[in-house]
Amino acid sequence: MKDCIFCKIINKELPSDIIYEDEKVIAFKDINPQAPIHILICPKKHIETINDLKEEDKEIIGHLFLVAKKLAKDLNVDKRGYRIIVNCNKEGGQEIYHIHFHFLAGKPLGKLVC
C-alpha cells in the first residue's frame, strides 16, 4: 500500500530496528516506546484494521501470536510476563492503519486504564 508507513518499513523504504522477520511477518521496535520493551508485530500483508480481517487471514493472525510467543522467550520475558495490545479505529487509539500487535514488556504493566 503506497502511503502506509508500515508497508514502507516492510519494503525497507523506511528505516526501522527490526527484531524478527520471516516470509509473512515483521517485528520492529516502536519509535516511541511505552515500556522498556515495546515491539510492533505486523503481518506483511496490508490489512487495515481488525474489522477488515477475512476468513483467509486466520493463519496469519495465528502466526502473529506464535511470533509474539517466540519473542517473549528470546527476550526472556515469557515467565515474567508481557502484554499484547491491538488498537482498532479512532476511539480504539489506532494511528497507523496497518494491523499490528503492540508487544509490551520489561516492567510491571499494571491494570489496563481506559
Catalogue the active-site residues: 100
Q: Residue 12 CB: number of other CB atoms within 10 A? A: 10
- State the nearest-atom distance from the C-beta of 34 to Zn ion, in Å: 21
Q: How far apart are CA 96 and CA 30, in angstroms?
A: 12
Strand-strand pairing, 37-43 and 82-85: unpaired
Q: How far is the CB of 59 from ligand AMP (least distance, A)?
A: 22
Instruction: Enumerate residues 59-88 that contact Zn ion by CB under 5 A.
Output: none
Query: Which one, 32 or 55, has the nearer CB to ligand AMP?
Result: 32
Round to whole Å and give the CA distance between 26 and 1: 16
- Told to check if 32 binds ligand AMP by CB under 6 A, we report yes
Is 51 a binder of ligand AMP (CB under 6 A)?
no
Largest CA-CA distance found in the chain, in angstroms, rounded? 39
Distance, in Å, from the CA atom of 87 to the CA atom of 95, rounded to the nearest integer, reads 8
* Interaction site with ligand AMP (CB under 6 A): 5, 14, 16, 30-32, 40, 87, 93-96
* Interaction site with Zn ion (CB under 5 A): 1, 4, 6-7, 46, 98
